[in-house]
Amino acid sequence: METNIKYDHLIIYYFSGTGNAKNTSIWIETIAKENGLTTLLINLDHKKYIETPTVIGKTLIGFCAPTHGFNLPPIVLNAIWKFPKLKNTDVFIINTRGGLKLSKLFLPGLSGLAQILPALILLAKRFRIVGMQPIDLPSNWIFLHPGLKPKVIDSIYQRCHPIINNFTLDILEGKRKYKALLSLPIDILTTPIAILYLFIGRFFLAKTLVATDNCNSCGKCVKQCPVGAITMLDHIPFWSYECESCMRCVNICPERAIETTQGYNFVFFVLAFTIIPPSLFYLMSTIGFSNWISSSVLTENLWELITMPIYLALAIISYKILHFGMRFHFINRMIRYTSLSSNKFWRRYHPPKY
Ligand SMILES: Cc1cc2nc3c(=O)[nH]c(=O)nc-3n(C[C@H](O)[C@H](O)[C@H](O)COP(=O)(O)O)c2cc1C
């Protein structure tokens, strides 16, 4: 039978917190193999730079990663930024988003810059973009909601698999597919949030996980963290600001000891917002800046520029104190009572394994 397949070799670079992007890459690889391509899947865990890939015959390169804060995770953006220039090589980008299901209705996630930004970087490197596909696999964001029920996960997966198979076949046959551009106007609107998340928000989020006294110091979270952000300090896991909040540790912990700290975060922000701005205002007016702080738009923005690093520094310090406090039974109980994730109904996210 004559095939219209345009490529000999496929390389996919993927990053996956909880398995969705990995599963998507495996689906694509399977179709590619069935169509006679040689394939290579490269996991971006811990990768700070990318070696120049061996290009065999006509090669297709893919990037596949989850959407984090309306963008790709920084580790993936960094890999694309540092990716060797392979002029006129065909590439595709897939971002897995947080899909949900309400009764029979499948709800999509939102890409934000997760397609546009890598596409612009790759275009600047003179790659030829042949496909841009978002895919709405189940949301894994345990901080915001409980993991979806196995039945719901299954039905979302069943919906997504054929979409990826069709996308792959079309791309392999040389067709161009730019599904991601359909939501471009909405995606562009999210730019300020995506930028805030990339430069500020993710550092706060990195400080929202703790291990309770259920933790037996097995070290699985340390070994499995894709960016090496977790270390054992006095036998208790500690999350550094390099954490990508990918949710892998929360979901794989065999003791269910890792909790999201909503209650603690609420108290932190209420205290920080009620104490820092008035004290800073008072301090600046005592040293003669009271006129300068008057409310022009410029100074309001400057005000935020000054206060944001203070909040961040405070979050980092208070997280250290919290980490120390977790060795005391009373603090442990407080964290558990005020963490949504410690409720029994707050399921962890377990996607199917391929
Ligand atoms: C910190 C964080 C931020 C997220 N931000 C978004 C987002 O902006 N848009 C979206 O559609 N999904 C978002 N999600 C959901 C994931 O992108 C989605 O569940 C993805 O399929 C997970 O892929 P993975 O299993 O390969 O990590 C977010 C998840 C996390 C943990």
Task: Give how far Cα 240 sits from Cα of 127, 174, 228, 253, 343, Å.
Answer: 35, 44, 9, 18, 25
Summarised one tens digit per residue, pLDDT across range 95-123 is: 999 999 999 999 999 999 999 999 999 99
> Which residue has the CA at smallest separation from atom 31 of ligand 1?
141
Residue-level pLDDT at 24: 98
Summarised one tens digit per residue, pLDDT across range 21-70 is: 999 999 999 999 999 999 999 999 998 878 888 877 899 999 999 999 99
Q: Which residues pair with 96 in a beta bridge?
A: 66, 135
Amino acid in position 305: L
Q: Which domains does the chain have, with CATH numbers?
A: 9-185 (3.40.50.360), 262-338 (no CATH)
Residue 209 has pLDDT above 90, yes or no: yes
Q: Which residues pair with 63 in a beta bridge?
A: 13, 93
**Nearest-atom index, ligand 1, CA of 110:** 11
> Which residue has the CA at smallest separation from atom 6 of ligand 1?
68
Q: Which residues pair with 60 in a beta bridge?
A: 10, 90
CB of 247 closer than 8 Å to CB of 68: no
Q: What residues line ligand 1, using a CB cutoff of 6 Å?
A: 16-21, 66-70, 96-98, 109-110, 112, 137, 139-141, 245-247
Summarised one tens digit per residue, pLDDT across range 168-190 is: 999 999 999 999 999 999 999 99
User: Inter-axis angle of helices 262-286 and 329-338, to 10 degrees?
Assistant: 100
**Residue 341 in tokens:** 């994730």
